[in-house]
Amino acid sequence: MNRARIQKCCAREILDSRGNPTVEATVILDDGSIGTASVPSGASCGKFEAHEKRDADPNYYHGKSVLKAVYNVSKVISPALVGMCPSDQSEIDRILCELDGTENKSNLGANAILAVSLANARAAAGHYELPLYRYLGGTLAGRIPVPMMNILNGGAHAGNNVAIQEFMILPVGASSFSEGLRMGSEIYHTLGNILKEKKLAATVGDEGGYAPNLDSDEEAIELILHAIEKSGFSTDTVRISLDVAASEWYHDGEYRVVKRDKTFSPTELTDYFASLTQKYPIFSMEDPLDQEDFDSWKTLTDKCGKTTMLVGDDLFVTNTARLEKGIRLGAANAILIKPNQIGTLTETLNVIRLAKENGYRFILSHRSGETEDTTLADIAVAVNAPFIKSGAPCRSERVAKYNRLLRIESSLGTSACYGKQTIERLPDEKEAIFV
């Protein structure tokens, strides 16, 4: 059987949602199939993430241009991949890592490597005339994830006085993704009206969530609970999730919350977040502690891990070695999956596999600097992800992922499953997590 081969890889510099340069790559096959993918960029980044290569030329995009990464795609990566079969994804990704030769992909740049890795998967799917989720996930791909919608921003994602980075809602009680998206959109707009009534700012942050100044971070939770109720829903059907991004606060063994002019010891912060889970209907908390504070992570997991999803983002950075350490120490019970933290599709799928095997939930996630690329949505369905983070139901780079999921749900028809049954039991009941 004749197999398509890679004919050429090329790249260009495009802009992300914050107006900063990023890499878009295209893989062209000898049968005419083409795959294109672009990579996002984070605002609050873990120090163990793969390296995002930028030019550091102060006279060009304030040092943030990615022309070196673009060059690496065309002049280094392309010659090495020409003639390869695009369906050999793991071998292609192995070669990409070998070409770079560093642990954190700092030579070629994770942005260059990931763009090619994802574009190659898209080209292969095109060759087989399959949607990407079906090409990657086969016949078992059919679960549409529960959206975790960031509707109020703080931290590094907004210029307000709110310290916690994201306040999200999860329409867990919806009967379908389309219904869940409607519920989230209605709550989002209701929250905007409440803010206006209170004469609070209804401008939005990087991920589309509102960014008002508030008297306390708990006031944000109260406002969201009000919006849920006013929209005609209850906390039985819509839950709350927090992304704390506490690594931004950690200095010299303590947590300095500059926006609130407060300082917490690790014990004090652990006790505070444990108390929040008792006071409010909080389904999950992401990065409530620092990326190296494994002892406090274990303490918090022991305190509330049976009732709350504790998600490692900076803690794990989509890295099998970091996740293995967390599993061994009993830190967290879930992992955020961001392909650009590790740099290839194969490595991303390996981390998901490790999480599944050890009963850790996983969430496919966007970044604060996004593009209109919808690959993330297809990967989420391909691996039957219980959850996806793509921001507020606002801003086209966020809504593009949600609209892609709507189209996938429609194409699956009656075989589409929505994620309610994946979250009915507690995180330690492994058999209920991945179905």
Distance between CA atoms of 298 and 14, rounded to whole angstroms? 41
Termini Cα distance of the chain: 35
Contact in structure between 124 and 159 (CB atoms under 8 Å) = no
Residue with tokens 């770079």: 100
Q: What is the DSSP letter of 308?
A: S
Give residues with Cβ within 8 angstroms of 157, minimum separation 6: 43, 44, 165, 166, 205, 206, 207, 209, 211, 368
Known catalytic membership, residue 430? no
SS percent in the chain: helix, strand, coil, step 5: 45, 20, 40
Q: Which of 105, 338, 389, 401 is catalytic?
A: 338
Distance between CA atoms of 374 and 72, rounded to whole angstroms? 24
Known catalytic membership, residue 207? yes
Number of H helices, E strands in the chain: 14, 16
For residue 22, the one-letter residue type is T
Distance between CA atoms of 37 and 125, rounded to whole angstroms? 13
Q: Which of 207, 286, 397, 409 is catalytic?
A: 207
* Torsion, CA 195, CA 198, CA 203, CA 206, rounded to 10: -50
Q: What is the DSSP letter of 314?
A: T
Contact in structure between 20 and 61 (CB atoms under 8 Å) = yes
Q: How many CA atoms lie within 13 A of 146 on its CB side?
A: 28
- How wide is the angle at C-alpha 110 spanned by C-alphas 23 and 141, nearest 5°? 85
Contact in structure between 18 and 369 (CB atoms under 8 Å) = yes
State the catalytic residues: 207, 338
